């Protein structure tokens, strides 16, 4: 099983051009992914640099037939033209999507700091390895206070999901809203976390939760022991990121899933976004 993740910056490449076809082509070149997690997808937001306001959630789905598409809208407001302005994440899966949760993350007021609402998009997939929970997110960039609160919430969601996975099931009606909420215990958490490898937020995210909840582990560290994280931002877009490249993007896996992790990779070639795609392979 191969899972890829990418902050696509609404399809805007280092050349300033928005091209969703290039995004899909580069993702496919990187690897034959079974699951694709995307951040910074937009619809109805022509104010974004190079963007024409088209619905990118629909356009990306059209370019990837054969995948079940799940969208997670973090920002949903009314634009000046009367059209909805939306911004968020996506998960596209070749495997059946058993359950979807869209968790709006904490957004505590931080006066004087630019910020936006963030989301964690959670799916449970029926994979050849068994049920697997895949969550993709994009944490706050400017506000350390908000980012810290969001990390705490991600840990709470891990604890909650594992408890649900192991809780005895009550007999449910054959129809209606009690048809079942499936949440797998083994989990992948991925996306753009807007923190560095040596940050306290990353250490907090990976720290122990409780004896019955598997903690998150960094799959890059597990598969590249002794190596620094490969940079994922600023390799090609020197207009936005003139300094040395750095790492903001990660793939974390719950400790009970780590024995299945075989490979973690960063594609340093693509210039289709200001971030680089990552991939994990499980066996």
Question: Average pLDDT over the chain, rounded to whole?
Answer: 96
Tell me how far apart the alpha carbons of residues 161 and 257 are, in angstroms, rounded to a whole number: 15
What per-residue confidence (pLDDT) applies to 170? Answer: 72
Q: What is the mean pLDDT of residues 182-202?
A: 97
Angle in degrees, CA 266, 147, 267, rounded to 5: 5
Sign of the CA dihedral running 67, 72, 159, 197: positive
* High-pLDDT (> 90) share of the chain, %: 93
Assess whether pLDDT exceeds 70 at residue 252.
yes
Confirm if 26 and 58 have CB atoms less than 8 A apart.
no
Burial label for 86, CB within 10 Å (0-12, 13-18, 19+), is buried
What per-residue confidence (pLDDT) applies to 110? Answer: 98
What per-residue confidence (pLDDT) applies to 79? Answer: 86
Return the number of other C-beta atoms located less than 10 Å from residue 276's C-beta. Answer: 27
Convert 183-207 to b/e letters by CB count within 10 Å (16 or more is b).
Answer: bbbbbbbbbbbbbeeebebbeebbe
Assess whether pLDDT exceeds 80 at residue 179.
no
Tokens of 280: 């994990």
In three-state secondary structure terms, 106 is coil
In three-state secondary structure terms, 104 is strand
Task: Read off the pLDDT band of 65 (50, 70, 90).
Answer: very high
Assess whether pLDDT exceeds 90 at residue 130.
yes
Task: Give the chain's domains with CATH numbers.
Answer: 2-167+181-282 (3.60.10.10)
The model's pLDDT over 67-82, given as tens digits with 9 standing for 90+, comes to: 999 999 999 999 887 8
Return the number of other C-beta atoms located less than 10 Å from residue 279's C-beta. Answer: 22
What per-residue confidence (pLDDT) applies to 182? Answer: 83
Q: What are residue 210's phi and psi, to 5 degrees?
A: -160, 165
The model's pLDDT over 201-220, given as tens digits with 9 standing for 90+, comes to: 999 999 999 999 999 999 99
Assess whether pLDDT exceeds 90 at residue 172.
no
What per-residue confidence (pLDDT) applies to 120? Answer: 98
């Amino acid at each position: 099983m191969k899972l890829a993740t990418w902050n696509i910056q609404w399809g805007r490449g280092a050349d300033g051009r928005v091209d969703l076809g290039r995004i899909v082509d580069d993702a496919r070149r990187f690897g034959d992914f079974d699951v694709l997690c995307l951040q910074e997808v937009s619809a109805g937001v022509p104010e974004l640099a190079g963007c024409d306001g088209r619905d990118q959630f629909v356009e990306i789905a059209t370019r990837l037939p054969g995948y079940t598409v799940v969208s997670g809208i973090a920002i949903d407001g009314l634009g000046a033209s009367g059209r909805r302005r939306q911004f968020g994440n996506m998960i596209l899966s070749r495997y059946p999507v058993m359950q979807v949760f869209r968790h709006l993350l904490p957004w505590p007021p931080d006066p004087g700091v630019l910020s936006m609402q963030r989301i964690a998009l959670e799916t449970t997939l029926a994979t050849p390895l068994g049920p697997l929970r895949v969550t993709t997110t994009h944490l706050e960039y400017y506000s350390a206070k908000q980012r810290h609160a969001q990390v705490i919430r991600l840990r709470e969601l891990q604890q909650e999901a594992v408890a649900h996975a192991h809780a005895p099931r009550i007999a449910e009606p054959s129809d209606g809203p009690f048809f079942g909420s499936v949440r797998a215990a083994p989990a992948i958490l991925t996306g753009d976390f807007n923190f560095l490898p040596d940050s306290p937020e990353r250490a907090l995210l990976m720290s122990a939760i409780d004896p019955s909840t598997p903690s998150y582990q960094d799959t890059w560290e597990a598969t590249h022991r002794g190596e620094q994280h490969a940079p994922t931002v600023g390799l090609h877009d020197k207009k936005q990121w003139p300094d040395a490249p750095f790492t903001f993007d990660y793939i974390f896996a719950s400790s009970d899933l780590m024995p299945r992790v075989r490979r973690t990779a960063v594609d340093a070639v693509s210039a289709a976004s200001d971030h680089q795609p990552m991939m994990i392979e499980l066996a």
